[in-house]
Structures are given as C-alpha cells and as structure tokens.
Amino acid sequence: MLVVRPLRLPSWLTLDPENQEISYLQVKEHRTVQFCFAVEEHAPVHHPEKIEFAVTARSGTNWKTEVALSVSPPSSFRLFQNYPNPFNPETRISYELREDSHVTLAIFNVTGQMVVCLADEDERAGYHEIIWNAANFAGSMYLVHLSAHRGNGEQLFRATRKIVLIK
C-alpha cells in the first residue's frame, strides 16, 4: 500500500486524513493522490505556498514530493452581517474583497453622522475582519458602511448593514 502524509502545511490549511483516494503504485509509475482539505478564511490570496509530502511505497521505499498551492481571491465583494448582532460591547465585522482595493469601513449613527472610521487604507484581495469595541458608545442602532475603490478613485463596491448595540 502507498502511504502519503503531509510533512509541512501552512497554518491556514487542514487536510482530512479520512478522505483520501490513493491507488497502488508500481516502480516508475505515476498515480494521482487526492486529498480533501479546508482552507481557512484568512488564507493569503495569490501567495504561492509549497506543501511537502512524505511518500512510502509498499516496498518500503521513501521519498518526498512538493505540491504548489495558491489561494484564489473571492469571486465577489461582500460585507457580511456583523456577529454577534445585537452585541455588547464587541462585534466582528467581516468582508471580502475580490481585488486589491482602497477600503473605507465606517460606523454611522441613525442620523447619518460618522461616529468612528475603522479602516481607511489599501487592503489586499481576500477575507478581512475587524472587531469594533463599542464600550464607549450609547446603545442604539448603527450603520456599518463599506466602500472599496481602485487607486484611481473608481468605485468597486459599496454596502451598508444595520447593527444593534445593546447596553
């Protein structure tokens, strides 16, 4: 039987050892080995990573092989609903960027006044999360507004979500 086991994995990748498809391997023969794996949300996008595997053939012969892996960016821009909601005093605000963008993430009160800007910076494509600690704010409904722009100012995405701070 052929045994294939990972030697070095990035922290954002998890292999399912129970869900592998491995065929028998003869000398000087090529076979495909399939693994089921999960990629965490915070995996770096377009950052090639090499995964090293140890292979042991039925004869006892051992060798190593590498597989290159790169995570693709999300297929769209998204602002997720905060969690928890309602919250007190902290909540997680998550969003996905389809491409590198200048991001502004701000909190507004119900009268439309900005109460805090949580991000105003260039960010890489991928999944992002910001924790807002609202301990110094009054209990109320607030609006989370996310906008993403290209470097030339062209707007790529804009979304708003209602969130509720309870005290």
Mapping DSSP onto H, E and C, the string for 106-166 reads EEECCCCCEEEEEEEEEECCEEEEEEEECCCCCCEEEEEEEEEECCCCCEEEEEEEEEEEC
pLDDT level of residue 44 (50, 70, 90 thresholds): confident
CATH topology (fold) of 78-165 = Immunoglobulin-like (2.60.40)
Average pLDDT, the chain: 88
Tell me if the pTM is above 0.95.
no
Domain ranges of the chain: 3-69, 78-165
d(C-alpha 167, C-alpha 75), whole Å: 37
pLDDT confidence of residue 54:
85
Examine the pLDDT at 26 and tell me if it is beyond 80. no
Contact 76, 98 (CB under 8 A): yes
d(C-alpha 63, C-alpha 85), whole Å: 51
pLDDT confidence of residue 157:
97
pLDDT confidence of residue 28:
67
pLDDT (average), residues 50-71: 84
Contact 56, 2 (CB under 8 A): yes
pLDDT in tens, 109-165: 999 999 999 999 999 999 999 999 999 999 999 999 999 999 898 999 999 999 999
Cis previous bond, 86, omega within 30:
yes
Q: Which residues contact 17 (CB under 8 A, 6 or more apart)?
A: none
Examine the pLDDT at 8 and tell me if it is beyond 60. yes
Examine the pLDDT at 37 and tell me if it is beyond 90. no
- Give the total residue count for the chain: 167
Query: pLDDT: is 166 or 61 the higher one?
Result: 166
CA 136 to chain centre: 30
Residue for token pair 């592998």? 20
Examine the pLDDT at 23 and tell me if it is beyond 80. no
pLDDT confidence of residue 147:
98
